[in-house]
Structure 1
Amino acid sequence: MKKVKYKMGKLGKYDFMKKYKMMRIFLPDTRKATLSNIKIMLRLYGSVYLKPDEGTGGHGIYRITRGKNSLILRTGSNSRIFSSLNDLYTPIQSILNRDNYIVQEGIELLKHNNRPFDIRVMVQKNRKGTLDVTGIIGRQAKRNKVVTNFHSGGTPLPIDTLLQSHLRGESRKKYIQIIEKLGKDASTVLGENYRSKRAFGVDIAIDNKMKLWVLEINTRPDMSIFNTLKNKTMYNRILRYSKNKG
């Protein structure tokens, strides 16, 4: 079995995964956070996220949105308005360089009760060493926050609840199966470089046209979010798999 040669941050994982045609259409444009890359991507997409290449838990994330004659920089629930990208870049440049940031295409997340949400799909190896989807959960952003992460105040909710206002009955059920398959496919691809890992946490976004995006894949996913649900079936299954009893 081929050994893992190196550990990848968000940019490395993105570069690795986009080599696979089956994954390319699900990956938001992601580049190193240089002034020129931020400028190009704001022109292309209107909004971008700045994220630490190796950060977790939603900390240190910025969102830049292009206004009519201004740029809005948001972090946490704070907003600042700048007249030019140079003015905006100056106060954050040292942070971007120090923590090795990436810039990612801004996805307009689907909303439930006027608050955006994304999805975490837990994928784990069973006793035979093949991958199974063991959990799926929604994470709804705290009001006025730019991130959905549980440890940054996001609310964990059943995915069925979050999709109720967008899809009915059978189509909702089928759509959840498509999300689960994408989580498993993404883990299978990244697993080619992380052969020894037994669990992957795949963060998936749905935009307002119902298109799916793979935002990030965690190779050390936090299981505690699943314990917040009233129904403990998924959490118990995840625990069982983590002890190699799945």
Structure 2
Amino acid sequence: MKKVKYKMGKLGKHNFMKKFDAINAYLPDTRLATKSNIKTMISLYESLYLKPDEGTGGHGIYKLTKTNNGYSLRSGTTSKSFSSIGALYDSHQLLFTKNKYIVQEGIDLLKHNKRAFDIRVMVQKNRNKELVPTGIIGRLAKPKKIVTNYHSGGTPLPIETLLKSHLKSDSRKQYIQKIVTLGIVASKVLGKSYKSKRAFGVDIAIDSKMKPWILEINTQPDMSIFNTLKDKTMYRRILRYSK
């Protein structure tokens, strides 16, 4: 498959979306992964995520947290300890600069059976070129894994299942509607820059206080994740809209 160059990486998209009041409050702090930015941000937040600016599928992602005597950097299911941010940065400098890494405020993800999850909202253009929601799915992280991506071992599940232990039936329906609406608004915002794109995959995290956060918007979203659900209604709708 030919690798498509995106118009903007994660940081470019973030900086573009930040200008819009409709979604500004839902964007986690995201900056270029320089030594000084990492130092500043780890003093502001409990944890940070380091991600390749143009990576997909959850590959090359690290989670940085403070420990009693320094810092811990996790990737997959392994972790390394560092006494200072300087030491941590120096040992990964080549990786961070060569692949242009970004650093993002860590969101304390809501959990289901002690496993973190996030949400993918699929938004596609209809015949009138209006953006409409065509699917919503939850992605449950593998035990002890830091990413929820399907291709990194995450389990796709109906969003109702994941929210069951957090919200009662009526408020659950309303909350899901709120997430879908946020997905549409975010797609409309990014769509101002990606006018030719017909589909957006909006990744939304929910923190422990039930606040939604827009982690990223994919302009070439993977549709196959919806085919993993028993109920094929959403998958069929997504395929219909993609024709």
Identity across matched positions, percent: 68
Query: Alpha-carbon deviations, 1:51-86, whole Å to 9, x = none?
Result: 000100000000100122210100001011111111
Question: TM-score, normalized by length of structure 1?
Answer: 0.96
Give the CA RMSD over aligned residues.
Answer: 0.7
Distance in 2 separating the partners of 1:87 and 1:37? 15
Counterpart in the other structure of 1:185: 185
Counterpart in the other structure of 2:3: none
Query: Alpha-carbon deviations, 1:146-171, whole Å to 9, x = none?
Result: 10000000000000000000001100
Counterpart in the other structure of 1:3: none
Distance in 1 separating the partners of 2:137 and 2:108? 19
Superposition pairs for residues 82-161 of structure 1, below 5 Å? 82-161=82-161
Shift of 1:8: 0.7
Paired residues, what number? 238
Superposition pairs for residues 71-82 of structure 1, below 5 Å? 71-82=71-82
Structure 2 regions of 5+ residues with no counterpart?
1-5
Distance in 2 separating the partners of 1:89 and 1:212? 30
Query: Alpha-carbon deviations, 1:159-199, whole Å to 9, x = none?
Result: 00000000011000000000000000000000000000000
Counterpart in the other structure of 1:25: 25
Shift of 1:128: 0.6
Shift of 1:46: 2.2
Distance in 2 separating the partners of 1:188 and 1:206? 21
Letter in 1 for 2:50: L
Query: Alpha-carbon deviations, 1:79-124, whole Å to 9, x = none?
Result: 1111111121122110001100000000010000000000000000
Query: Alpha-carbon deviations, 1:17-65, whole Å to 9, x = none?
Result: 0100111100000000000000000000021000000100000000100
Distance in 1 separating the partners of 2:25 and 2:69? 32
Superposition pairs for residues 231-242 of structure 1, below 5 Å? 231-242=231-242
Counterpart in the other structure of 1:199: 199
Letter in 2 for 1:56: T
Letter in 1 for 2:47: S
SS in structure 1 of the partner of residue 72 of structure 2: strand
Query: Alpha-carbon deviations, 1:178-227, whole Å to 9, x = none?
Result: 00000000000000000000000000000000000000000000000000
Letter in 1 for 2:93: Q
SS in structure 2 of the partner of residue 59 of structure 1: coil
Distance in 1 separating the partners of 2:66 and 2:168? 35
Distance in 1 separating the partners of 2:190 and 2:68? 39
SS in structure 1 of the partner of residue 179 of structure 2: helix
SS in structure 1 of the partner of residue 177 of structure 2: helix
Counterpart in the other structure of 2:66: 66
Counterpart in the other structure of 2:51: 51
